[in-house]
Amino acid sequence: MSAVSIADVVCAIGFGAALLFVIMVPIAPSRAYMRPVKVFMIVAMSCSLFVGVSNVLEWGGVTAALDVYEDYAEVLFIPLMAYLVFALSMSQQLESTRRMEQLARGEQQLLTSIVETSPAGIMVVAADGGVTFANDRARDMLGLRPEEAESHCDVPDDVRLGMEPGGVTGVTEGLLSIAALGRVDDIVRYVEHPGGRTLALDVSARPLAEDGSLGSGAVMALLDVTDRLRYRQDLERAVELRTRELLDANGRLGAVDDANRDSLVQLSHELRTPLDSIIGLTDILLQGDGGPLSEEQAHRLEMVRSCGNQLLAVIDAAQRITPTDAGREAVITHAVDACELVSMVAELIKPIAADRSVDLETEFPDGPLMFMTDADKLAQIVRSLAGSAIKFSHDGGWVRFIARGDADSVSISVADSGVGIAKQDLAHVFDGNGLAVCRDLAILLGGDISVESEEGTGSTFTVRLPRAIRHS
């Protein structure tokens, strides 16, 4: 047997085995698209097997009758293989398409499940205002009814959609006005249903067109915030009511506080005047103006003066802790003669001035200088200014009290022949504790305080007060 015949025998056996394998391999039901491929493979393998068997029979001398059909089989094999490749390619495309359809179907089912189970109403509004899709929540909120064609919803005519309760805009017009805004988040719209049912909706929208236009419609999400807004309104009403109650209670407490403050201020006023006299007379006695004192008498008078000063400090502290509603000290006003008040202060500090050999002088107009003010606070200012003037005066110097008045104001000046104040220090003269208190009290009484001074020639402090205090 020649080499050619051996090759034909091997080829015939190989194609026969391949044909048998292709016939026996089953096709799964899910891969039915492979059936045409299998048919083409069986036909192609059969042609190859026929050629191989024909050659073996011819070279074996059995028969040459099949040789005439061998050429047909060989010519048929090439297009069969081409069809086989084509069928295989189409099968692969069909498989890919089938998988894409399954994936798209799964994603659509997932999206549908999310939309249907969402607590928000979700809908698609076309460019003409028609609703092409709406989940159950959206249909309930807007009263939409699905049409026979499930791709659209019927918009009712008796439901109104507007920016405020009582709006008269129809649902279609209202949806178009929202879609025209483009990309919006959390805008409130009110829906009125027949029978008086009103809903407050929090609306967000996104245009379907990539350029943000209304050409392809818009997707909208609706969230019912009726209970939330009602709760907020109820809370605001409750807060307003509670605020009014607190203001009323505060007013009552303020009235009680005012009454207590006025009582304390009046008591302080009644106590300070005789106490100032006691302290001043004690100082005079200690100076020996009433005659010589024994050691025991002087000791007891020192105790009286010390206790008086302590009591005066307590009265001043008590009055300072009774602020008005504006956070200031209480002011009690009555008619005051400026000349009489200054004379009283001068008399009280006379022993101190005498101890320093300082003469006290007064310069008053003829007759009383009456005006409305708080006598205690004005006396405190004058005492403080006079004490400073005596302190910084040389022995043998003088301190002068000057009172003047016009139609609108009264001024009291305390001048001295002391050391004076340097020019660079004038701007900070009221930063010290004593003069700072004088300035604050003057402002409290509706006036002001100023200073004129030259170093080495003395100083003049002037308190200017209105004829009547005008507090708001």
The mean per-residue pLDDT over the stretch 13-22 comes to 71
**H-assigned helices in 170-225:** 171-179
Closest CA to 177 of 192, 160, 153, 194: 160
Which residue is it, tokens 């024909």?
54
What angle separates helix 338-348 from helix 226-286, to the nearest 10 degrees?
60
pLDDT tens-digit profile of 139-175? 888 888 776 545 577 777 778 887 877 666 788 888 8
CA atoms lying within 13 Å on the CB side of residue 280: 16
Query: What pLDDT does 402 receive?
Result: 96
| Residue pair 33/95 in contact by the 8 Å Cβ criterion | yes
Tokens at residue 210, please? 């990539």
Q: How confident is the model at residue 323 (pLDDT cuts 50, 70, 90)?
A: very low
Q: Which residue has the higher pLDDT, 324 or 232?
A: 232
Instruction: Output Rg (C-alpha) for the chain, integer angstroms.
Output: 56
The mean per-residue pLDDT over the stretch 53-57 comes to 73
Q: How confident is the model at residue 283 (pLDDT cuts 50, 70, 90)?
A: confident
Closest CA to 45 of 84, 66, 18, 25: 18
Q: Which of 80-89, 314-323, 336-345, 455-464 has the lowest mean pLDDT?
A: 314-323
Tokens at residue 167, please? 């709006």
Reduced to 3 states, what is the DSSP secondary structure of residue 209?
A: coil
Task: Indicate the length of the chain as a whole number.
Answer: 472
336 burial level (CB within 10 Å; 0-12, 13-18, 19+): buried
- Taking 80 as the threshold, does the pLDDT of residue 313 lie above it? no
Reduced to 3 states, what is the DSSP secondary structure of residue 186?
A: strand
How many H helices and E strands in the chain? 11, 15
C-alpha–C-alpha distance, residues 278 and 269, integer Å: 15
CA distances from 65 to 54, 55, 255 (A): 9, 11, 136
Query: What pLDDT does 76 receive?
Result: 64
Instruction: Give CATH superfamily name and number for 118-224.
Output: PAS domain (3.30.450.20)
pLDDT cut 90: percent of the chain above it? 14
Q: Which of 160-169, 372-381, 454-463 has the lowest mean pLDDT?
A: 160-169
C-alpha–C-alpha distance, residues 180 and 175, integer Å: 9
The mean per-residue pLDDT over the stretch 83-101 comes to 74
- Taking 60 as the threshold, does the pLDDT of residue 213 lie above it? no
Query: What pLDDT does 271 receive?
Result: 73
C-alpha–C-alpha distance, residues 470 and 446, integer Å: 7
Query: What pLDDT does 122 receive?
Result: 87
pLDDT tens-digit profile of 62-87? 666 666 566 566 656 666 666 666 66
Closest CA to 224 of 148, 120, 320: 120
Q: Which of 141-150, 167-176, 184-193, 435-444 has the lowest mean pLDDT?
A: 141-150
Question: What pTM was computed for the model?
Answer: 0.39
Q: How far is CA 38 from the centre of its chain?
A: 74
- Taking 60 as the threshold, does the pLDDT of residue 214 lie above it? no
Query: What pLDDT does 472 receive?
Result: 40
β-strand 359-363 against 398-405: which pairing, if any?
Answer: parallel
402 burial level (CB within 10 Å; 0-12, 13-18, 19+): middle
Q: What angle do CA 264, 386, 367 make, to 5 degrees?
A: 80
Tokens at residue 54, please? 């024909």
Query: What pLDDT does 111 receive?
Result: 75
Reduced to 3 states, what is the DSSP secondary structure of residue 369?
A: coil
Q: Which of 17-26, 345-354, 363-372 has the lowest mean pLDDT?
A: 17-26
Query: What pLDDT does 160 receive?
Result: 82
Question: What φ, ψ does residue 451 adopt, rounded to 5°?
Answer: -140, 140
- Taking 70 as the threshold, does the pLDDT of residue 318 lie above it? no
Domain 331-472 has CATH 3.40.80.10: no
Q: How confident is the model at residue 367 (pLDDT cuts 50, 70, 90)?
A: confident
C-alpha–C-alpha distance, residues 191 and 168, integer Å: 10
**H-assigned helices in 326-446:** 338-348, 350-355, 375-391, 433-444
Beta bridge partners of 460: 415, 452
C-alpha–C-alpha distance, residues 269 and 334, integer Å: 11
> 118-224 and 331-472: same fold?
no
The domain segmentation of the chain, as residue ranges, is 3-113, 118-224, 231-328, 331-472
205 burial level (CB within 10 Å; 0-12, 13-18, 19+): buried
Query: What pLDDT does 128 receive?
Result: 81
Query: What pLDDT does 325 receive?
Result: 40
Q: Which residues contact 436 (CB under 8 A, 6 or more apart)?
A: 430
